[in-house]
Amino acid sequence: MVFPSKTSARFFAFVSFILIIVSVFPIGTNLVAALEKRYGVPTQDYFSERVDGIIVLGGSIDQYKSAIYKYPVLNHSGSRVTQFLALARKFPETKLVFSGGSGSLLYQNVKESDIAYYFFEQSGLDVNRVTFEDKSRNTYENVAYSKELIAPQKNERWLLVTSAFHMPRAVAVFCTFDWPVIPYPTDHKTKQVVRFLPESFDVMRELTTLDIGMKEWIGLYAYNLFKRTKTFLPPPKSQDDNGYTPAAC
């Protein structure tokens, strides 16, 4: 019988300890909450304001499963497209944009925008109202290709729909392209409260939230490092007596 060495045993104990800490204590929740707190959801008072366009970023549809099973399969960010539908009905004369191609290096033949077209059509939305951008593979390209397609004007008011945890990085990219947007965050993963003790012992939820939070914070750093954003974090959105204004750039 082979017994592990003391070094191996210590390494296993250390890894086990770290895994217990990150899966029980709200480290991932706090990482995500810090991002989600940056922009609030516009209140009903906002809807008296003029809206010239609404753009939703891809990432809410699993296009590969959708292609296999022949129906739109929404993932954990599905509220992006459901809220986009609700806003499209609230503003029937507004320009609409769905931006999403394929983030896969190998499978570029299935585009998320194609599945979105089918999903919106099934949901009763007039798809002729929607401009579908299908070349983008990431957030930076979402903005670059969408701006090229629709050429938004300086005085236009655009709502940006994406997940709350993803909103700071998305806003930072829009600012890089001098396209100020009004954040409309969705898919909230937390209660936006920073905690030091676990609220419940849901190990899988905490690990999933940790994965989301780490990826997004790394994404913020990488985008700023490679000059895809002007600032690591854009300033938070301001609010005045006239309602919600575009996020500061």
Asked whether residue 195 carries a pLDDT value surpassing 80, the answer given is: no
pTM of the entire predicted model:
0.88
User: In order of start, what are the domains of the chain with their CATH numbers?
Assistant: 37-191+200-244 (3.40.50.620)
What spatial distance separates the first Cα and last Cα of the chain, rounded to whole Å?
64
pLDDT category of residue 239 using cuts at 50, 70 and 90: low
CA distance 135 to 171: 20
Q: What is the mean pLDDT of residues 207-228?
A: 94
**pLDDT of 234 strictly over 70:** yes
Mean per-residue pLDDT of the chain: 87
What gap in Å lies between CA 176 and CA 158, rounded to an integer?
16
What pLDDT is attached to residue 140?
Answer: 97
Least confident of 83-87, 125-129, 192-196, 237-241: 237-241
Amino acid at 130: V
